[in-house]
Chains A and B, each alone.
Chain A
Amino acid sequence: MHGRYDKPVLLSAMVLLVLTPPVTAGIKLITLPPRQRVEIQLDNPRITLVEEERVVPLSAGANEVVFAWANTHIDKNSIQLRCLTDPDKIKVLSSQFPPNENALTWQVSSPKAGAARVRISYIIGQLTKTFTYRAVASKDEKTLDLRQYIELHNKANEAFGTAGMWAGFGERLERPIGINETRRLLSAKFQDVPIRKTYTADLSKYGYLDAGKRQLRIPMHYVLKNDQAHRLGRFPLMRGKVRIFQDDGRGTVAFTGEDWGQFTPRDDEMTLYLGLAKDIVVKRTIDRRDRKRVMGNLYDYDVVVKYEVENFKDSPAVLDIAESLPALRAEILGKSRRAVHWEMGKDGTLDEMFDKAKSQADKAVFHVPLPARGKDQKAVKQVHKLHVLIKNEW
């Protein structure tokens, strides 16, 4: 028995042999039941499970069924055989693993002779998936069409023929998968997804564009909310590269960049970086820093952060201003491990633009509407002030 199926193993990566008893003689009859059905289960984030069905001829009594997988990356400890025909009567008695071979032999008992459909399942390596997206924004950048693709990379050294695939959501797909083939499959399509285009001023996160002038970097993003109100929300969006295009209004699209879309649960937002905005200029300065003794060596700090904002675009926009309170405290007092005890002061101009939902204990977020530049091509300079009391410092 040792080495008796070397040849078929070398000829084909994965084979199932049924040895008709008796297997003791030198002359043997081997049947090679082909696959009837293959399902590739892709719903686990890291592991790919393959299930295949074959019809095997069994004799009454004990049978040997050999499964061999030369040059493929099957986890041999994961291989299971389940009988779909008469599962209560046809039993797997034991399995034996010969030395130095990617093969195993099941001892299968059958009460009668006949064909039995069996399902073999196993974990396979090098058969992996990634997700990619193609997003085409409308010319006005109010909506986009989003297509999600599964890219199946088959480096497992096995052709699966026409196989069913399921990623854990959406529709089941059925395609042939060849050896060393990468197949890109459309898994979901979302049309007219409302999006927000954001411009963000956040010194602690994005830094200065020109530190000498205190001019901030203003990154642009598309923000997609993964909920039904925004024509998404059917399932979490998996991490993947998003190629972003924009309708140029002439029946074609222009490539405007790409970013990694992070895993986005339902009701969360996927944020796609587009690049730096050059037409929105934001300068940030500390306009006030007054120290006030509370008692002993305990002080409060009265701080005003001034933002000078100009929109040179020919369309209005909304600027998101985010201020990190630990970073602001470090800027005026130096670093400290204490949490920041702070309150909004009364001298600010941003109170009505405060976004409570997006703000947290150590970050304040505001949304500032910016008008388009005037007909005279001059931008209106807005000056906004964030008044903060940083309390109980020493």
Chain B
Amino acid sequence: MRLNRDVLLGLIVLAMLLGVASISPAFIAPGNLATLFNDNAMLIMVALGQMCVILTKCIDLSVGANIAFTGVIVALINAHAPALPIPLLMLIAAGIGLALGAFNGALVWLARIPPIVVTLGTLSIYRGLAFIASGGTSIVSKQMSHAFVAWPRLPIAGLPLMSWFAIVAVALFALLLNYTRLGRAFFAVGGNPVAAVYTGIDVGRTQFIAFCVSGTVAGFCGYLWASRYTIAYVDLAGGFELDVIAACVIGGVSISGGSGTVFGTLLGALFFGIVKNALPVIHVSPFWQLAISGAAILGAVVINAVRENRRPGRLILKEAVAT
């Protein structure tokens, strides 16, 4: 019997929660679970954007740098013009993110440079620009307006606005990927690019749009990040791109494109978040965190590989390749 992968991962996440709860029951108190979700809201959002990119056989390594640059710019704007309304600032953040994502996408689409090379380059460039923009200094909480810091914490129906953003993002991405032409195009481009061309899908353009989506989400999270940690500086979200890709991989998004689910990615991000939050509760040194996430990625990858059926086209080669 083959269990649905998402269900399996869901059960693992549940088992982890219960396991931690058996040591410290307070861990699964509703309040703590809400905090846990809120802590991982940005990871969930950026992972969903990344998922679109990975679906189209690309990869976006620049999301962490995008967050840093956008966070610094938005914080600087706020420091100089505290009166500017926050929703407008959010729009600006998303707009900057969109521009950075579009730059990645244009290089992939028009210059035909492999996405890993493009985003490896822009990863350095965006973070360097964040340094230049900030002049190497940090924009700290006393420079930020009260509203800038308060908005993501605004409680609505018991949950902070930050969590609602993540919930809305999950809903929007589920709609986008399951019920729109563009969503189907993401899957088609990654699943079989040649077939996608014959069905009239512009592969390069679709990949470009995927990068725009990922960039926009990352930019929006740039504001959230600066606001949540009440600081904006060059190392903001350093290495975050790897957490994001790990969340996708654990969530069952195939790195070779064309397969993945919103629910899986959500679970992948939560899995990551639970590991991070649970370690101190079960009295394990936080220094174990990196090793455990590495092992989790490897485990997920191997489980994916073992469960995944070989593509029919390759079956004829199975014996030859297995030598």
Q: Does A pair with B?
A: no
